[in-house]
């Protein structure tokens, strides 16, 4: 459905929103794909496995110096100029890029496609691309990534873009089997009381090759400043390879069903941050995101407690092995201890889980007490599905509160910016959760296409997990396959109406219908095998 929160079509996979976004098709024609220059790379052997509950390396960085003035292909599209280049790295399960030396006009837009020409990320505007000296892109699945830069043609001679690195992913963060079987999806009913904790938790990548978890925090002004807490050992700002501007945040990366397939969406993301404070004693880093998360993401700004009170029970929500979000429970008091984490002493809360564990990639996740406030972030531990009785340690928020002698070494100046002496605060909800979908029509489907794949769950306009309750077609057949609906036209039929119902995590439902029609003039773009239609869901604006 068209999102009334966003006028343009932001797509996952291949979409038929071409009628709305005629200036730039949502996929590339086969002829265009065949003409795009390709640079092929070869990564070395992947690194060894990592210790549990530590920052997770998922990609290898390959330095490049590819400039749009001398590499790639420039073409004209009306009043616009298009620059395209394909990058390939054999056996990569995902790819991303680092861009630098950017000289772009105000109306520049960058899109990232996979090797089949399906749009995965973007468009990224001039503001997002030029905010820092370099730009780190979100992930595109598969061994091929295609960049498309669109600018007003009159600025072509003054435009420059340099690809400075290609990040070859060797851990599949999208479609592999989930982390250890003892982990608990946040889509499970047991996690329902902790929905706010889930909404505040994010998966982050740093420098295009390292992965951790993080939690969004409220401040005493309750003004929605996007403050993200994670572990210092995740390495934000530790070198020029991992600057704060390289942080990419993925929101609501969750399975749609408890114990279901790993079908989380990576489309809800944002890039860039600034490091505000860090400290070794509590192993914490606090960054401010370049922008507040979009309202459609329905995030939650977590409350916190820096009084140092011993928690008697609670949870942690996190991304073990970089997978979709999980939740771990403890129901006996934590203990305050100085833990040794890889040779570094950390003032921490030590917990033993009654259900669930953590893994590499969970680092930086928040520890929530029974009052639903964050009291620390994951620093290390030895719990696992093979060792569920192992303990994990979280750097203590009360220690990080006034750990350093300057604002760059403690949390207090940022979480209590007016120095009100407040050491415990409730969370901030961006607004009410209301699911709303609208009817839509997709015209001009290719006449020889009998099947259409509809990706109704992967969207920017509704927070996961979303589920399809029921679906029916007037003439053809429709089946639910994973996260997709597979529609098949009846023999001799060239149009149909599909009706379905969605439900969100709060039990709210919404129904919609979509018209499929092969009788209209064809859309721009060529047949690329399966067609994927992304139905964008809208929500009412938050308070």
Residues 161, 212, 89: CA angle, nearest 5 degrees: 45
CB 340 within 8 A of CB 175: no
363 is catalytic: yes
Catalytic residue among 283, 305, 416, 460: 283
Of the residues 348, 363, 379, 391, only one is catalytic, namely: 363
Q: For residue 415, what is the enclosing H or E element?
A: helix 412-415
Residues in the chain: 543
Whether 251 and 271 have beta carbons less than 8 Å apart is answered as no
Among the options 132, 167, 168, 233, which is catalytic?
A: 233
Catalytic residue flag (residue 283)? yes
Using DSSP bridges, classify how beta strands 440-443 and 509-517 pair: parallel, antiparallel or unpaired. parallel
| Residue 140, C-beta contacts closer than 8 angstroms, at least 6 positions apart | 94, 95, 96, 112, 113, 114, 120, 121
Q: Largest alpha-carbon pair distance within the chain?
A: 76
- Separation between Cα atoms, residue 398 and residue 283, nearest integer Å: 12
CB 317 within 8 A of CB 324: no
Annotated active-site residue 107? The verdict is: no
Task: Please name every residue paired with 443 in a beta bridge, in sequence order, or none if there are none.
Answer: 517
Per the structure block, which two tokens stand in for 442? Answer: 């997709």
- In angstroms, the CA 344 to CA 335 distance is 18
Any idea which residue has 């969750």 for tokens? 254
Which element (helix H / strand E) includes 401? Answer: helix 397-401
| C-alpha 87 chain-centroid distance | 22
Residue 181 CA to residue 253 CA, distance in Å, equals: 18
Alpha-carbon span 333 to 74, nearest angstrom: 63
Residue 150 to residue 332: CA distance in whole angstroms? 56
Question: Burial letters for 114-147: b for 16+ Cβ neighbours within 10 Å, e otherwise?
Answer: bbbbbbbbbbbebebbeebebbbbbbbbbbbbbb
- Distance between CA atoms of 499 and 518, rounded to whole angstroms? 18
Could you list the active site residues? 233, 283, 363
């Amino acid at each position: 459905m068209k999102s009334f929160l966003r006028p343009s079509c932001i797509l996952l996979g291949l979409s038929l929103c071409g009628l709305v976004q005629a200036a730039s098709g949502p996929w590339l024609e086969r002829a265009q794909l065949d003409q795009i220059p390709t640079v092929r790379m070869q990564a070395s052997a992947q690194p060894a496995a990592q210790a549990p509950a530590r920052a997770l390396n998922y990609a290898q960085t390959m330095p490049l110096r590819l400039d749009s003035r001398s590499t790639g292909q420039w073409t004209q599209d009306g009043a616009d100029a298009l620059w395209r280049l394909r990058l390939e790295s054999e056996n990569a399960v995902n790819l991303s890029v680092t861009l630098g030396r950017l000289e772009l006009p105000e109306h520049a837009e960058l899109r990232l496609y996979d090797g089949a020409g399906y749009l995965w990320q973007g468009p990224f505007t001039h503001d997002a691309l030029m905010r820092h000296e370099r730009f780190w892109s979100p992930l595109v699945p598969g061994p091929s990534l295609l960049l498309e830069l669109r600018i007003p043609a009159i600025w072509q001679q003054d435009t420059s873009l340099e690809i400075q690195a290609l990040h070859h992913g060797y851990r599949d963060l999208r479609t592999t089997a989930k982390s250890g079987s003892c982990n608990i999806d946040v889509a499970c009913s047991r996690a329902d009381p902790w929905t706010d904790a889930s909404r505040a938790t994010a998966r982050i990548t740093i420098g295009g090759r390292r992965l951790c978890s993080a939690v969004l925090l409220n401040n005493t002004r309750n003004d929605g400043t996007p403050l993200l807490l994670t572990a210092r050992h995740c390495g934000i700002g530790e070198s020029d390879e991992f600057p704060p501007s390289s942080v990419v945040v993925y929101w609501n990366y969750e399975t749609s069903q408890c114990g279901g397939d790993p079908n989380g969406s990576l489309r809800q993301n944002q890039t860039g941050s600034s490091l505000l404070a860090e400290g070794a004693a509590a192993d914490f880093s606090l960054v401010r995101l370049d922008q507040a998360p979009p309202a459609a993401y329905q995030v939650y700004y977590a409350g916190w407690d820096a009084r140092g009170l011993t928690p008697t029970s609670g949870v942690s929500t996190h991304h073990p092995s970089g997978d979709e979000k999980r939740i771990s429970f403890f129901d006996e008091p934590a203990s305050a201890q100085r833990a040794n984490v890889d040779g570094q002493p950390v003032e921490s809360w030590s917990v033993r889980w009654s259900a669930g564990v953590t893994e590499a990639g969970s680092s930086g996740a928040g520890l929530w007490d029974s009052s639903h406030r964050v009291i620390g972030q994951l620093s290390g531990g030895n719990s696992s599905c093979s060792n569920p009785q192992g303990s994990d340690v979280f750097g203590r928020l009360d220690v990080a509160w006034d750990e350093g002698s300057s604002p760059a070494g403690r949390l207090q100046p940022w979480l209590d910016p007016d120095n009100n002496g407040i050491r415990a605060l409730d969370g901030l909800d961006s607004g009410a959760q209301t699911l709303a979908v609208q009817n839509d029509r997709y015209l001009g489907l290719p006449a020889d296409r009998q099947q259409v794949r509809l990706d109704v769950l992967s969207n920017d306009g509704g927070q996961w997990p979303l589920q399809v309750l029921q679906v029916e077609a007037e003439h053809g057949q429709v089946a639910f396959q994973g996260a997709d609906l597979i529609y098949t036209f009846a023999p001799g039929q060239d149009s149909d109406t599909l009706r379905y119902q969605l439900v969100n995590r709060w039990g709210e439902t919404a129904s919609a219908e979509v018209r499929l029609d092969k009788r209209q003039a064809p859309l721009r773009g060529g047949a690329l095998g399966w067609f994927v239609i992304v139905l964008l869901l809208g929500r009412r604006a938050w308070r």
